[in-house]
Every structure is written in C-alpha cells, then in structure tokens.
Structure 1
Amino acid sequence: MPITSRVAQSALLAAFEGHLRHERGLSENTVRAYSGDLVHLAESLGTSEAGVDELLSAVSLADLRAWLAGMAAAGLSRTTLARRGASARSFFAWAHDTGRLETNPALRLASARAASTIPEVISTQDVLTLLETARRRCDDGDAMHLRDWTAAELLYATGMRVGELVGVDVSDVDLRERLVRVMGKGGKERMVPFGEPAAKAVVEWLERGRPEFVTETTGEALLVGRRGSRADQRQVRESIHRLCRLAGVPDIAPHGLRHTAATHLLDGGSDLRSVQEVLGHASLTTTQRYTHVSADRLRSAYQLAHPRA
C-alpha cells in the first residue's frame, strides 16, 4: 500500500496533527506541510510498509542528517530545508514528551535557517492605481466586483494575511471606530485600524453587494462567493491578480499587499513596534525585514539626489 494511504490512516500522525492544531495553534497549511514532511522522511527511509509509525523505531540522528543533506544536495531551498528540519524536531520532541519514544533522535538536529528575503512591494502610486481601478470596476453592474474592491482595500489598509481576511465576519468590523478584529496565527486575536477608503468599500459591499449573494447558510462571513458561501483564499488571490492586470501595475499577490502596507507604514514614519502589532508578528525580528526595503529606497533616493553620493 502506498505510504500516503497508510499515513492517512495513521493514528500516530492523527494524534500529532491534533497536537499541532489544538495545543500549538498552528494553521491548517502548516499542519499539512508538517505531515507531508513526515511522509517524505518515511519514504526516504524506505519504510513503505509501516509508514510514519515506523519512524519511532527506525530513525537515528544520522538518518535525519542524511535526509537533510540529501535534499540540500538536490538543490532544495533553504526555506524548505528549514521547515522540514522543524517538522522532524517537532514530531520527535512530541513523541518523546508523550512517552511514545524513550530518546529523541532529533534533539541535536540542526538545519539551515530560512533565507532572509526582501519582501515584494509595489509603489504607493501603483497601489493607488490598483485600488482606483477596483473602485471604478464596480460601476459595471456586477455586485461581485464590490467584494473584490473591498478585499483589495482591506488587504492594503490593514496588512492582513489573505487567510485572516477571508475569516473575518461582519460582526468583526466596527465601521464607527474603523477597526477590524483579526484572528491571526496561533488563534491570537488583534484589532487593526483601517482608513476611510476601506470603510467606504465595506459599506458599499454590505449595502449593495453582499445582500445579493447571501443565502440561508451564509452565516456571518464578511466576504462571500457567488453561491453565498464564505470566500476562500484562492478566490481573493485570483481577484487581486486580475485587478493588477486591469490596472496595468506590477502583478502582486495578496501577501505582497501585506508587505507593501508594512513598508509604506515604515516609510511614512510609523515605528517598528506599531507595525509589528498591526501585522500580528510574534517576533519583532520578522517585522525588521521591512526596514531593509525602506533602507534600500532611502539609499536609492540619496544616490539619485545628493551631489556627493
């Protein structure tokens, strides 16, 4: 039987996934990634008959190091290597802590740090062009375009992750105070402000767009699809890419709008700690990536303008 089939039926993997979801509060995407990494580890060791369960007795530190080294030699990115190392460490630490394993073979396992990349951003003018295009598109009579405008405005105004945006309910939005309640990674809740343009888009969507698609099963979802169910991440991503093409601006994903919002906040004088709170970063180190973008722009402007640059 293929290992993926056995893994799907593995009580051990199911228990580990439950730990990741309910005790560590990790997202479904992360849970799936960690599970897939364990499948890959099992396959690399040839434990096709016992699958992940066999890892408790079959794996040594040397095996884990060889697994990571083999992937590095194959040219996998540092980000993937770092995550797979983290998956193995988390799994064996959990197995040891819960008494399923006497010793933890991953205790001294080191892996590459994820590559520190400068986030993709677009200029203020490009964002304004994108949002104005989204607004004007709403005049064509398709109420769903009001949703796309609202999504674009909120993504840029708040710096939310697209997964956070589609999880927002109508009751989470305070239009009077212009605040939105966001449920972030690890189930952490935060309140994020937004401006008048985003508020206008939300009002238009709630009054003229959303009622056209609401059904008995819609519930409280702020953003919905044509059939009345809660909008998913794919729908929002596609709408942002489509708007970029229509606006004639550099193509950017919803996460790029998050990066752009953070960079523009820093460029505008916001302090790093405030931007961390807006984005919901657990560590200030993550937020500090955006200072590199601002520094690059400052250096470029200096070289163009200063006589002695």
Structure 2
Amino acid sequence: MQESQFEKYLRLERQYSVHTVEAYSNDVAQFLDFVTENFETDAAQVNYPMVRSWLAVLLEQQVSNRSINRKMSSLKTYFKYLQLSGIVDSNVMNKHKSLKVNNNIQTPMSPDEIKSLLSQPIDETDFTAVRDRCVMELLYTAGLRRAELISLTIASIDHQKKQLIVNGKRNKQRLIPLLPSMLERINNYKVLRELHYSSSTVQELFITSKGKPIYPTLLYRIVTTQLKSISSKTKVSPHILRHTFATHLINNGAELNGVKELLGHASLASTQVYTHSSMEALKKVHALAHPRNNKKR
C-alpha cells in the first residue's frame, strides 16, 4: 500500500518523529477515505477542488484552523511524495494557502509555581512518585519536547560529563547540561527502577508500573495532574514546561542563541516566540541598561 511506503518516506527521508509520522498518516488516511466515499476516486486522480471540499467539511465540524493547517501540511507532504514517486505529475497542494491562526501566547508557569511544584513532599521509596517527580523536573530543567523525553534511554545520561544526550527533531542530537540536583534525582529514580524492574530489558529511561516504556498519554496525564495541583491555569501540557524553561532562562539574562541551542531550534525565529512572554523582564533590563533612560538617574 502507498500509505506504508509513505510512512517509510517520512521516517527515513524526512526523518520525522514517530509522533509526526503517525499524525501525518492519520491525516492522509482521513482524506483518502473522504475522496473515496464522496468522489469514488484514488490519490492519483485527486484535484484541488476535492481538497477544498474536505476543508469545508472540517470547518463545518468546527475543527480549529491550526489543526486544519496541520492536515493540509500532511497532504502537501503526501502529494510531494507521490510526485517524487512518479504517481502524480504535480502537487495539487502547491497553490494552497494556510488559514489564519491567532497566535495565542501560552502563559508559562511562574517561578513560585515551579518552586511549589518541585518542593512538594513525595514518598522517596515509591517508584511512581519518584518517576513522576523526575519527569517533571527533567522537563523543566532540560526544556525537552514530549517525544524527546519519551525516547530517552538509560544510555542518554552521561554521568561523567553531567549531561543529557537528546535526539530531537529529524534525529538531530544535542547535549544538555544536567544540574547536580537533577542528576541526583535521576540517580534516585534509577535505583528504584533497578530495584523493582531488575529483570526488565527495556532500554527507555522512563517506564510504566508494568515495566513498559512510558507512552504519550501517560506522560500527558502525569504532567497535567501535577501542574493542576499547584496552578489555576486551564491549559497545561508537557510543552508548558518547555516554554517555562525558555522563559525563565531569558528572564534571568540567558543569551537567545544559547537558549536556541538548548531547545534544539533550527532557527532563532522559533526561539524568539518565547521573548513575548518575557517582554516585561526585557523592558526592565532595557530601562536599567539604556543610557537614554533618564528615570534611572
């Protein structure tokens, strides 16, 4: 089937993460089901009006513009693959324009909220409690993406150099320094992991109570449960800790290029998103440092 070959193309040639491959594949499958049912045709015969018809249905279903744009991006990649494979002559998505999306800037956790989160007492002999604390602390102190944390292995921890080896988007590897407190937390977790799951052959660092690799839904549940216990924010997710990591670094004077490298961003433009939530702190720095500011005199 073309879909399975498409997945192989995404993984090997585009070097997309497992999560992205799954999302793109689902989007394409939904579209192909739509054109088969409504136009009785296959991918090779698709034209742009058919795409527009699907887009109209998605809007009627009140799918968000952001999600629709992701689906259209999936289709564009799919038809590019078909074109490269010689199945179609041109990419029907070439002239498509994305829908407008409101850039709602996510509010990061405050330093007090993070302090409250990481100072809550836990049973240091309870595997689940120690694992969950380790997950939360690592997301905040290393600024990891959800998929990056899930894919960490025992070998990802370089104890001698006190750093974390992370495989990011497109399998691009980066090194992140580990704070002494974070390294101690990881070591405590690994002791309990070995104590309770010594027979496990799983190489992933974080595992479930059944000894299996941790999975996206469980990670999301861990993070939302923990954050809602100390914050009134309605929208919380693993990404908010990555956002908080970047914001707190910038607020404390970290250079943007350094934060970019720690986050694994390909361009500085991606990192600059986090300066919006840091604007008040930046204004204070500007006011204190600029020679034309008369108020400080």
Count of residue pairs the alignment pairs up: 288
Counterpart contact for 1:153–1:197, Cα < 8 Å: no
| Amino acid aligned to 2:43 | L
Q: Find the aligned partners of 2:189 and 2:205 in 1 and give their Cα distance.
A: 9
Answer yes or no: is 1:293 the counterpart of 2:274.
Answer: no
Answer yes or no: is 1:55 the counterpart of 2:43.
Answer: yes
Question: Paired residue for 1:104?
Answer: 91
Q: Deviations over 1:144-195 (max 9, x none)?
A: 2111121111111000012211211222112343210011121111111121
Deviation at 1:117, TM superposition (A): 2.7
Counterpart contact for 1:224–1:230, Cα < 8 Å: yes
Which of 125, 129, 149 matches 2:116?
A: 129
Worse-superposed segment, 274-283 or 241-250: 241-250
TM-score, normalised via structure 2 length = 0.86
Question: Paired residue for 1:198?
Answer: 182
Counterpart contact for 1:129–1:249, Cα < 8 Å: no
Counterpart contact for 1:64–1:109, Cα < 8 Å: no
Counterpart contact for 2:143–2:246, Cα < 8 Å: yes
- In percent, how many aligned pairs have the same letter? 27
Q: Find the aligned partners of 1:49 and 1:64 in 2 and give their Cα distance.
A: 11
Question: Paired residue for 1:24?
Answer: 14
Q: Deviations over 1:103-156 (max 9, x none)?
A: 3322222222554331231101110110111xx2034x3132111121111111
Q: Find the aligned partners of 1:300 and 1:74 in 2 and give their Cα distance.
A: 45
Q: Find the aligned partners of 1:61 and 1:48 in 2 and give their Cα distance.
A: 14
| Amino acid aligned to 1:120 | T
| Amino acid aligned to 1:149 | R
Counterpart contact for 1:68–1:111, Cα < 8 Å: no
Counterpart contact for 2:65–2:101, Cα < 8 Å: yes
Question: Which runs of structure 2 are paired with 1:10-21 in the superposition (5 Å)?
Answer: 11-21=1-11
TM-score, normalised via structure 1 length = 0.83
Question: Which runs of structure 2 are paired with 1:144-223 in the superposition (5 Å)?
Answer: 144-207=128-191, 209-223=192-206
**Which 4+ residue blocks in structure 1 deviate beyond 4 angstroms?**
48-51, 245-251, 296-302
Q: Deviations over 1:170-222 (max 9, x none)?
A: 22112343210011121111111121221121121123x11122243333322
Unaligned runs of 5+ in 1: 1-10, 303-307
Question: Paired residue for 1:138?
Answer: 123
Question: Paired residue for 1:305?
Answer: none
Q: Find the aligned partners of 1:89 and 1:248 in 2 and give their Cα distance.
A: 39
Q: Could you say if the C-alpha distance between residues 283 and 301 of structure 1 is closer, same or farther in structure 2, counting changes exceeding 3 Å?
A: closer
Unaligned runs of 5+ in 2: 287-294
| Amino acid aligned to 1:138 | D
Q: Find the aligned partners of 2:211 and 2:19 in 1 and give their Cα distance.
A: 24
